[in-house]
Each structure stands twice: as structure tokens, then as C-alpha cells.
Structure 1
Amino acid sequence: MNICIVETIKDFQTHFGLAFDGVLLETDLDVVEVDTDANGRARRDAEVLCTLAANAEGDVLELGTSHGRGTYKLATNLQQGYQCHTVNILPEQENSTSGKLITHLLTKDEIGSYYRERGITNIVQYYGNTAQWQLPSGLQNFSMVFIDAAHDEENVYLDSKLVWDRIKPGGFMVWHDFSPLNLHFDWIVASMKGAERFIREFQLEKVEIVNLRHSWCGVLRKPEVPQVAAKDHKEILLNSTYSTTNYHAAQCIVKCADMRALNYAIVYPAYSLDRVAEECQLASNLNQLGYNVEAIGIPCHGAWWPFPMLDRKWKTKSADLMSRYGILEDKLEDKDVLIAAGGSMLHPDFIRSLSTFNVFYCADDPESSEYLSKPVAASFDFSFVANIACLPDYLKWGVKRVAWLPLPVLTSELDSSIKKESILNTGRCFDIVMCCEQIYGLSDRALRLEQLNKIFPHAILRGKGWPDGYVSIPQLNYLYRNARIGWNLHNSIGPVNSRLMKLPAFGALQICDCRDNLGKIFKLDEEVIGFNTLNECIDATRYYLAHEDERRKIALAGWKRVMSDYIDEQWWMRLLGYIEPYLVSGQKR
């Protein structure tokens, strides 16, 4: 999702061009009783709702009345003559469709009691299970809809679909329990997944969702102009602020809707022949999709340069760095978009001097962030992080445009013989496979794997430092293609590595650590098996080695998920969907 975090309610008003301040009448907004009240959350929520209602040009709708405090905020800020329509489920209407993540299941007398006790009359109360509720046909052209009913992924998705056509162009969709900084709460994760599912289905990836920092509100403005077909090459005016360096325009004009007309450079650290081959193959795959993409390697034999070394060479104008940059500048002369892969050795000052639209993409093992991504990310026009666990770090660093983008599986590496029938019916010759390095000593992962190997001595452990040593990409793919189970253990937080997508892409059942974050990427126990402790990994491995039909069923679901969402074509479409609104046609910085 294209999430933009603003710091203050004034910034929020400026962002959307809202002229009127909201009025906060409640006196207990700063009371902190539980951890969900931290950081002034209640006040920030109130600021968002009251401000949007004060600027509404028509009626508003709320899904999920509860006691009616949100309803009160909305109704007391509406202009005279406008009404707040609100719906809540009754206990007798609860069923299998109504969701499990419900804050309260209230009686009819309790529903809306807060606003009734205060004599607010411009409110119309409805009762219903929003998953099955039929919106009255007369309710149209809402200026704002506030979605705060059940927070299950399915319910948030269905509620969003229910109201979208009833919001007028330029109106607002507001999801509650939407907070990119609080993903440790399971209901927030579920709610944001539901919103993201809706956004994907309605092809709204390019539209920003604005979050006032420390509020739990995600605000999307319904576009006022239709999307223009790529062949039309018309100007599209988008109400979105781009706030990174050199892009301070309040509005961004995207003149070239056909992204195939642009020239792209993938710039990467050329420290090994494998890395060169991988990046060139990715560029080749994207060219076959009709895009003009060139892979450009910056030579750095053995490893990319950590930032202190890069910074020193830049400040001293070291000949070895300057010569590399000179060659790169020549190659970028006809390029519109630069995509810098992690470790690509681009100094922030050099990035700011380029005329291209500059994108940063980094896997971000957190152990390397201090001298890899943190010093440079804010100098780019958009940043992508492959490690979903590190997304909050970018926001803390002041990176205004950032999104999660997983490492892709290259279609050219896929085995076309792997299909539903082969996953369900063909035998595999290796019970367990894990391929990773053992030489850098970044964590106790090697010790954990040695413990597992004692219990499962037939497991195949390969990579630099292991007794059987390094494996080439073709050898790696062969192992995955013939593995029943693939372990995926990380040095610390994650998940992020090539195993995450490649294991299921080759039909293996993945058993992976970092269970909580894993559940934001795959469906746990349906597409992947997650664990938090080594004993859980041991138990899961034993179980699925002994229950082949269940292993195959989950492996098949994981394969389907990767093929539909995580191969290079989907990766590229997702990347372009995020950056397209911020490309300024006909202008170079």
C-alpha cells in the first residue's frame, strides 16, 4: 500500500486542502488507561475524524457505532443540514459472517448511548451485520465513510466494497485500526490486510493512504478523475503531496500514463558473477514484458562498500569511486528512472545530483541497516524495503515514501514441470533442505541449525562454511525442486531472503521462523508453517514428514500464492504502481 505518514493535524489539513478545523468536544481524550492509548492515540483519532467531518460537503456514514463516540465526533462537526448515518450489529444478528475481531457486542440500548445522552439529533441509527447488510438505496454520495465494524480481514474487505460506490468523487474512505507503526496488534494487521485486499481489487495502488502519526486512521481520498488508459498519454492531475528532496510540489502531474515509454536502470553492486547474472536476468525478464530496463553494475569485487567507507571516498573524491560514478552518469543519460538495489554504493549527495527519478530497494537485514540503508534511504524519491519487519525503521528515519516490496522470484528460474499434479503426486528425494552461509557469524543461526541437524541428520545443509560447501543457483534450484520440506531460519528479524519465495515456488513446504511477520505475507498453516521457537520447528518438521498429504496440500497452496503474487512480473507491477503518481513528466530536477 502507498502509505504517507504526516506529523500534525495541520500537515493533514494542508495535504488534503481542508480549510476548516475540527472541534474536539470530549474532555477525556488524553486519558491513558491501556497500551492502546499510548502516544495520544485517542486525540489523534479525534483530530482526523473531526477535521474530515468539519470539511464534509454532505452526509457521512459510519460502519460500527459501538457506544457512539465516533458518531458523536462526526455529527458534532457536520455543517447544519447534514446527517451522520451509522450502523451496528445487534447480538441476535451475530453469525459466522459477522467476524471475530469485534470490540464490543452491545445491546440495542447500549449502542449509541454516548451520543443519545448528549442530545445529538443529526444522527440516523441502523442495526445490522455489515457483512450482510443492504445499504438503503437512498443513501448516496457520502462525503466520508468511516469503517470501524469487525476488524477481520474479510469483514474490512467486504465493508470497503459495500460503501465504495456510495462515496462521491473527492470524498473520503477512513479505515480505523489502521496504523503502520502498530503492527504488533493482530487486529490492526487483519484490518490493514482487508484494506490492502480491497485496494488491489479496485486497482487503487497508486492512491495514497494518509495516516496522521500515532492515529489509528488510514484515510484514502476517492479520485476525482478517472484513470486514463495508457495509450491516451493524457495528463492526470492527482491530489497528492510529494515531500522528498526536490519534489515539494503540492500536486504531481503524470503525463505519461504508459510506463513502458520510460527507460529504467537497475543499478546494483557487482561483487560476484552470480549477482551480475541475477540482475541481468531480471532486466531481461522485464524487457520481455515490454519495458526498457538495463542492469548496470558498479564494480566492487567481493562485497559492497559500507557507508563509512563510501562516505570517506566521496568526501576525498577518491579516483576509484569518481571513475565509477562517471561511467554510471554516462549510462544514465537516457534513463528516466533509477532503481538502486541494496548495497549499490550510491552516495546521498551523488543521488541528489541526478536527473532521474530515484528508487531505493533494500532487503535490510537489520544488522546492516546502520551502514547500508539508514544513511542513504531518505535521499531517494521512493524507498522499498523487502524486510517487512524493518518498515517502521524507515518511518523513524524520516523516509516519507516507503513501502514493503518482497524479493521476487525470477520467472526464468522457475521449473515449468512443477504444477498442481506434480506437487500432489510426485515424490521428492530430499526430506529437508536449508541453504545459507555459515561464515559471517552474524547470529547463533549456525548453532540452531546444528541442533536441528542432530535431530534430523538426513537434512541437507549447504552454503559457504558448511561441510558440503557452496551451491550454485542451478544446484540450489535442484535442491529446492526435490525437497519435501525447506527450513528457513533467519539471523534475527524477518522474514526476508530468497528462500522465503523460492521454497514454495519450487513446490517445497516451507517451515519458517519469524512467525508473526510471516503471517503478513502468507496464510499461516495454509500456505506456510511458521514458528517462533526451535522446539516448534522440530515438532512441525516431525509432523509434516509423517503426514505427507497435509504437507503436499500446504506446499500446493504456497506455490499458488507465490505464482499469483510474488514472481518478478507482479513485483514489477507493484513497484510501478507505487512510483507512478510521483513521476513528473517533462521535468528533470
Structure 2
Amino acid sequence: MRVLYVYAGLHWWRGYEKRLVDSINEAGTGIAIEFWDWTREYGVPGNPSLKWASEHRELLRPFYRALNERAKNADVVMISPGGGVVPDIMAEIAATVVYCTTDDPDSSHTCSFPFLEAADVIAHAGVNFDGERRISDVFLERGAKRTVFFPIGFYEERFPAIEDFDEQFARRDIDLVYVGHLKRGKLETVMNRYRGMTVHSRSLKLKHNVYVFAKTRRWIRPFRGDLCALYARSKVGINMHFTFGPCNGRSYQLNAAGVAQVIDCPEGISEIYEPNSEVMVYANMEEAVEMIDALLSDDSARYQISRSGYERARREYNSKHLLIQMLREVYCVNK
């Protein structure tokens, strides 16, 4: 299988993704992936939105010509999340086109809906679109030809296997951790209950920090260190989404690092983990606090959750396994 991976993404992820592709190419899987960071080649800053690409079609015309030429030598063209390849250009590609989307349902109107009819396959990272409907069902209703579930997972390079799980479990000294966007209306409940919890922000918006400070009297700073090292010291990790999911990286990274995860999204969590066995699942912040209390007061219960969740994540959700599995599923059906 020959795959053209049309990549546009944040610069700090590029190295991980490129080395992931190299490891697959060297593994004798029968999959040959050409990694093409087109934004670097054509001087496009960052990962362009569909709006930006639509307004700069003339600037992108050489890229679109090159894309059509390169695609002639591929069985599958895999396009990373973003708007650089506009829908009408995507529809013209002479190969099986897989468009990846990760920000559903919160950004579906810009990150996925415009591309549903143009791609042959939509590879989605999220599970539930709302309280009742799955993302795959909504996509099919709105014109997608086919969908596949493609979780974000974790890079083994970034989160290597734990050498001695029991030894590391015994020396974890951070009770509760959260690294992510400051979810207003959610995070402050937990922060006020656990005044010493470790919290770092991924949001650069001042209004979010001001809101959390007003509710908790704590000013949250971005995390600049080694996330794996932080998680290696953490006993319990709280996870939360803006609306529905699960879809974020924490869903996999916490478990991959052996942290006992307390996660929301009760409607869709059983798609990736066994509730109350591999993760604890809450429907509201009061339930989350109760579950955190229970895990911190009972080492044996926390060990069971963290160990079972760790083993499930290592077995099924490393990025290499997920990418190989998705490409084989797509190609076997479409060839």
C-alpha cells in the first residue's frame, strides 16, 4: 500500500509524526508512507483554516497542482486535520482520500462538515456528537461516504512503557493533575476542592485565566516541562471536554502514563475504555469530586484503575498501532 500523507500541523508535533511514519516504513508492514509537510515547502504559516485557504487559492495553486501529481502514485492520500486542501480540490484527487478530523463536535462546522462529501473516508477521533448520536452517524447523514474511528492515541516515543509499574505507583507524590484548556464552569469546582492540585493551562486567552482566578484565586501558567515526567508522579488525573467526546489526547496519555483517570463523556466512553474498571466516569463535577476522593483514599482501588487503564492504552492506543490499523481498514475495503 502506497500512502501519501499530506501533513500540516503544529511544528512541535511534526517531529513525532515524521518519526512515527519512519518507524512504520521500517517495520515491514507492507505500508509505504511518503510524509509531505507541504506547508514548509510552500511557505504557508502553521496549519491554514478553510477560510484562509479559500481566500488564498491563487497562492496555493502550485501546491494543488503538485498534490494532484503526487497522488497519481499513491493508493491512499491521507490528509491531516486542517483546511489547506479545500473540498473541490480534495474531490479531484485520483486516489482514495482519507480526511482526518479531531475537533468534533465543538468545531464540526469548520473542521469536518465542509469535507464530508469530498473525501472517500472520514477518519474521526471523537465518539459522540451529542447526548444521543454518534459522530459517525451524523457524518453519514450529512453526506460522508464512509467513516472510520481513528483515536488520537499517544506517541510511545513521548510516553514510553513503565519499567516497574508497582515501584512507580508507590512513589507517585502528586495527588491530582490537570493539563489542558481551562474549562470554565467545570475546572474551578475541582480546584476549590483540591487546593493543592497541579494545574497547567493550554489556553493562551487571558479571559480564561481571569475567570479561573476570580473563582479560585489561583493564576494558572502554561506547562513547559516534560509531560510524561509530570504524569509519572501523578496519582489521579482529571479529564474534561468542552462538550462531548471522548476525543482529546489526555484520554490516552493519562492511561499510557499509569495515571488513574477520572473522565467525563459517559455517553461515549465505553467505545474506548471499560467504565469503572479502566477509567472512572463522571456525569457532573460533583460526581468527579466523589470519584477523586475515593481513589485518593483507597490505594488498592486506584491501583486497579490505573493498572487496567494502563494495559488497555498500551495494547490498543499507541499511535503506530492506530495508524497501521486505520490504513489497512481503509485500503482493504476500497482497493
Shorter-chain TM-score bucket reads 0.7 to 0.9
Query: SS in structure 2 opposite 1:339?
Result: strand
Can you list the C-alpha shifts for 1:245-277, whole angstroms capped at 9, x where unaligned?
xxxxxxxxxxxxxxxxx222222223x321322
Deviation at 1:385, TM superposition (A): 0.9
> Which residue pairs with 2:22 in the alignment?
284
Q: Is the Cα contact below 8 Å between 2:125 and 2:149 reproduced in 1? A: yes
Q: Is the Cα contact below 8 Å between 1:285 and 1:412 reproduced in 2? A: no
> Which residue pairs with 1:11 in the alignment?
none
Of 475, 479, 484, the match for 2:230: 479
Can you list the C-alpha shifts for 1:146-172, whole angstroms capped at 9, x where unaligned?
xxxxxxxxxxxxxxxxxxxxxxxxxxx
Query: SS in structure 1 opposite 2:223?
Result: coil
Deviation at 1:475, TM superposition (A): 1.6
Of 443, 461, 470, the match for 2:222: 470
Q: Is the Cα contact below 8 Å between 1:298 and 1:344 reproduced in 2? A: no
Of 426, 431, 439, the match for 2:170: 426
Tell me which stretches of 4 or more aligned residues in structure 1 moved more than 6 Å: none
Q: Does 1:562 align with 2:313?
A: yes
Deviation at 1:553, TM superposition (A): 1.2
Bigger relative contact order (CA 8 A; separation at least 6): 2
Superposition map of 1:323-338 within 5 A: 323-329=62-68, 331-332=70-71, 334-338=73-77
Of 1, 4, 11, the match for 1:273: 11
Q: Which has the larger radius of gyration?
A: 1
Q: Is the Cα contact below 8 Å between 2:83 and 2:111 reproduced in 1? A: no
C-alpha distance in 2, partners of 1:403/1:331? 24
> Which residue pairs with 2:259 in the alignment?
508
C-alpha distance in 2, partners of 1:411/1:274? 16
Give the share of equivalent positions with the same residue, in percent.
Answer: 20
Deviation at 1:451, TM superposition (A): 2.4
Q: Is the Cα contact below 8 Å between 1:268 and 1:343 reproduced in 2? A: no
> Which residue pairs with 1:369 in the alignment?
108
C-alpha distance in 1, partners of 2:71/2:166? 46
> Which residue pairs with 1:542 in the alignment?
293
Q: Is the Cα contact below 8 Å between 2:8 and 2:46 reproduced in 1? A: no
How much is the aligned-residue C-alpha RMSD, in angstroms? Answer: 2.2
Deviation at 1:303, TM superposition (A): 4.6
Q: Is the Cα contact below 8 Å between 1:268 and 1:344 reproduced in 2? A: no
> Which residue pairs with 2:330 in the alignment?
579
Q: Does 1:352 align with 2:91?
A: yes
Can you list the C-alpha shifts for 1:77-101, whole angstroms capped at 9, x where unaligned?
xxxxxxxxxxxxxxxxxxxxxxxxx
- In structure 2, do the counterparts of structure 1 residues 468 and 509 end up closer, same or farther at CA, with 3 Å as the change threshold? same
Amino acid at match of 1:462: H
Q: Is the Cα contact below 8 Å between 2:53 and 2:83 reproduced in 1? A: no
Query: SS in structure 1 opposite 2:329?
Result: helix
Q: Is the Cα contact below 8 Å between 2:47 and 2:84 reproduced in 1? A: no
Can you list the C-alpha shifts for 1:519-578, whole angstroms capped at 9, x where unaligned?
222111100000010000011111111111210111000011111111123313421342
Q: Does 1:311 align with 2:54?
A: yes
Deviation at 1:331, TM superposition (A): 4.8
C-alpha distance in 2, partners of 1:282/1:432? 31
Superposition map of 1:484-499 within 5 A: 484-499=235-250
TM-score by length of 1: 0.49
Q: Is the Cα contact below 8 Å between 1:418 and 1:507 reproduced in 2? A: no
Gaps of 5+ in 1: 1-261, 439-444, 585-589
C-alpha distance in 2, partners of 1:521/1:416? 20
Query: SS in structure 1 opposite 2:148?
Result: strand
Gaps of 5+ in 2: 129-134, 210-218
Name the structure with the higher helix share. Answer: 2
How many residue pairs get matched? 309
C-alpha distance in 1, partners of 2:294/2:252? 22
- In structure 2, do the counterparts of structure 1 residues 298 and 462 end up closer, same or farther at CA, with 3 Å as the change threshold? farther
Deviation at 1:375, TM superposition (A): 0.7
C-alpha distance in 2, partners of 1:583/1:420? 42
- In structure 2, do the counterparts of structure 1 residues 532 and 342 end up closer, same or farther at CA, with 3 Å as the change threshold? same
- In structure 2, do the counterparts of structure 1 residues 297 and 274 end up closer, same or farther at CA, with 3 Å as the change threshold? same
Superposition map of 1:343-422 within 5 A: 343-389=82-128, 390-422=135-167
- In structure 2, do the counterparts of structure 1 residues 419 and 427 end up closer, same or farther at CA, with 3 Å as the change threshold? same
Deviation at 1:329, TM superposition (A): 4.4
Deviation at 1:327, TM superposition (A): 4.6
- In structure 2, do the counterparts of structure 1 residues 579 and 406 end up closer, same or farther at CA, with 3 Å as the change threshold? same
C-alpha distance in 2, partners of 1:412/1:513? 27
Deviation at 1:415, TM superposition (A): 2.3
Q: Does 1:525 align with 2:263?
A: no
Query: SS in structure 2 opposite 1:310?
Result: helix
Of 296, 301, 316, the match for 2:45: 301
Which deviates more from structure 2 when the two are superposed, residues 390-399 or residues 568-577?
A: 568-577
Query: SS in structure 1 opposite 2:268?
Result: helix
Amino acid at match of 2:54: D
C-alpha distance in 2, partners of 1:422/1:336? 47
